Amino acid sequence: MKRTKIKDLLNAVEGEVLVKGWVRTRRDSKGGFSFLEINDGSCLRNIQVIADHSIPNYSSIEKKMTTGSCISVYGKLVASQGKGQNKEVQAITIDVYGPSPVDYPLQKKRHSFEFLREIAHLRPRTNTFGAVMRVRNQLAYSIHQFFQKKGFVYLNTPIVTTSDCEGAGDMFQVTTLDILNPKCVDGKIDYSLDFFGEKTFLTVSGQLEGEIFSMALSDIYTFGPTFRAENSNTSRHLAEFWMVEPEMAFYDLDDNMDLAEEFIKFLLSEVMENCAEDMEFFNKRIDTTKLETLKNIIDNQFERLTYSDAIRQLKKSSEAFTYPVEWGLSLQAEHERFLSEKVFKKPVIVFNYPEKIKSFYMKLNEGGETVRAMDVLLPNLGEIIGGSQREENYEVLLERMKDKDLNPEKYWWYLDLRKFGSAPHSGFGLGFERMVQFVTGMDNIRDVIPFPRTPKHAKF
Ligand code: 4AD
Ligand code: MG
């Protein structure tokens, strides 16, 4: 007989079934029955199994069928008498694949998320983490759907790279050289002897390579891991995170903002529709305003304002910020959250940032003070998207590179795109984990990725 997943069992017709999963709880009644709650991760809900102590092999499995064990139950699916569930399985035979002794760490009590991070190999078996992973999966699927429906080409950009897209340093180096004894020439490591014949890093972004393909295929998107060696120990930063980066030929900054807004709204509505049960759970357990917030975001326009207006808004508020507010300085998380949570109470897109604080590739506005950058800020989260229209003018780009101390020779191919058939184009990057965080309401980004990498932590 074929196994049925619990998600399907709850809607299946009554009759004989085979169900497999992990025991969440077990309760023994005096009347010669055990009640087992089984979960197989196909949905949040468990199925209750009733094991009559008179089933044939009961004595051999009795001690093994404990919390955490993995079992296979052949039995009869019937309407349940008990409250709280509408179907249950009356076991005919039970096999125990893997018993689970009493030192199984996930016993009945609720554990802190910090504790669960220490047992990253078992935390997928908790309600919260299971729900997070199903929502994460839905988001990944919806991301592909959104871009595929629009005719974007999915592009895989390299993980190992020689260029630093954001120009911010903070990259992980990749080498096969003997780090205790590298060969040096004139006191400097000879990277011609390294695996790739030059210094290489893990990528911080697939954007520059994405631009190459948008200058041929028009609309592309990447969706892959990116790495940043910044020492940011916050609840919003990972050293390894996934990013979605669309890049569109012939888009200006307004088109770019329109796409970003449509994209976020699409993802939220898909999750609400397809993960209703898990979202109810988050709304009950993690953030009781979540569903209402998401619905409001879907139904309303994002606020759009220039960086200069954002500074004006912040300056006229009486809020005591930790970081200074001054035209020309970066907006800090506290400023971003203040704008979206207190001033506008909805998602905000800030655009036209000072040239000095943004990357070399962003298109210079007339006057040369600002660039066509945009950040999308969400309430309770802060920055979810960073993007821009790209500088398509060869001379201007070359100047900006020099200004920012980048070596144009290293970016010769990037400059070539401006030399041969240049076109206006734009793109943005959405932090995938931040999206999962926002949707679920999970406080810490470490709890929305299977295996978080943060400073001093890559254990699992
Ligand atoms: O704003 P960022 O640095 O933009 C880029 O990398 C551009 N190349 C994107 C583009 O135009 N194609 O990063 C984009 C998004 C941020 O808005 C944030 O959501 C997320 O990536 N992000 C992080 N997420 C988790 N941990 C980190 N350390 C992150 N750094 C950025
Ligand atoms: Mg950014």
CB atoms within 5 A of ion ligand 2 belong to 386
Q: Percent helix, strand and coil across the chain, each rounded to 5?
A: 35, 25, 40
Cα–Cα dist 14/228, whole Å: 53
Mean predicted confidence (pLDDT) in 195-203: 95
Residue 385 CA to ligand 1 centre (angstroms): 7
Pocket test for ligand 1, best of 165, 243, 433 (most atoms within 8 A of CB): 243
Residues in contact with 37: Cβ distance below 8 Å, sequence separation at least 6, in sequence order: 23, 24, 25, 26, 46, 47, 48, 49
Q: How confident is the model at residue 291 (pLDDT cuts 50, 70, 90)?
A: very high
The residue with tokens 């179907």 is 87
Whether 176 has a pLDDT exceeding 70, the answer reads: yes
CB distance 442 to 448 below 8 Å: yes
Cα–Cα dist 241/239, whole Å: 6
The residue with tokens 């990528």 is 203
Ligand 1 neighbour 384 (Cβ under 6 A): yes
- The per-residue pLDDT for 163 is 80
Domain count, the chain: 2
Q: What is the CATH number of the domain that holds 316?
A: 3.30.930.10
Ligand 1 neighbour 238 (Cβ under 6 A): yes
**C-alpha distances out from residue 169 to 172, 227, 229, Å:** 9, 11, 8
Tell me the whole-structure pTM to 2 decimals.
Answer: 0.96
**Strand, helix or coil for residue 400:** helix
Residue 384 CA to ligand 1 centre (angstroms): 8
- The per-residue pLDDT for 110 is 83
Per residue in 361-404, pLDDT tens?
999 999 999 999 999 999 999 999 999 999 999 999 999 999 99
Whether 81 has a pLDDT exceeding 70, the answer reads: yes
Taking CA atoms only, the protein residue closest to ligand 1 atom 17 is 385
Taking CA atoms only, the protein residue closest to ligand 1 atom 20 is 431
Taking CA atoms only, the protein residue closest to ligand 1 atom 25 is 237
Mean predicted confidence (pLDDT) in 403-421: 94
Taking CA atoms only, the protein residue closest to ligand 1 atom 7 is 429
More confident residue, 17 or 233: 17
Ligand 1 neighbour 372 (Cβ under 6 A): no
* Atom number of ligand 1 nearest to Cα 376: 17
| 158 domain-assigned | no
Domain match, 328 and 431 both: yes
- Domain span holding position 286: 124-152+251-447
Domain match, 305 and 340 both: yes
Residue 99 CA to ligand 2 centre (angstroms): 48
Nearest ligand (C-alpha, residue 431)? 1
Residue 221: DSSP 8-state: E
What six digits make up the tokens of 24? 């969440």
| 47 domain-assigned | yes
| 240 domain-assigned | no
Taking CA atoms only, the protein residue closest to ligand 1 atom 31 is 431
| 108 domain-assigned | no
Whether 293 has a pLDDT exceeding 70, the answer reads: yes
Q: What is the CATH number of the domain that holds 75?
A: 2.40.50.140
Whether 117 has a pLDDT exceeding 90, the answer reads: yes
Per residue in 298-325, pLDDT tens?
999 999 999 999 999 999 999 999 999 9
Per residue in 141-172, pLDDT tens?
999 999 999 999 999 999 999 886 666 668 99
The alpha carbon of 20 is separated from its chain's Cα centroid by a whole number of angstroms, namely 30
| 165 domain-assigned | no
* Atom number of ligand 1 nearest to Cα 386: 1
Taking CA atoms only, the protein residue closest to ligand 1 atom 28 is 237
| 452 domain-assigned | no
Domain match, 399 and 264 both: yes
What six digits make up the tokens of 364? 């210079």
Mean predicted confidence (pLDDT) in 400-413: 92
Mean pLDDT of the chain: 95
What six digits make up the tokens of 450? 């299977």
Ligand 1 neighbour 68 (Cβ under 6 A): no
- Boundary (domain end) residue, out of 53, 83, 98: 98
| 376 domain-assigned | yes
Domain match, 31 and 130 both: no
Domain match, 132 and 13 both: no
Domain match, 39 and 134 both: no
Domain match, 41 and 146 both: no
Ligand 1 neighbour 165 (Cβ under 6 A): yes
| 286 domain-assigned | yes
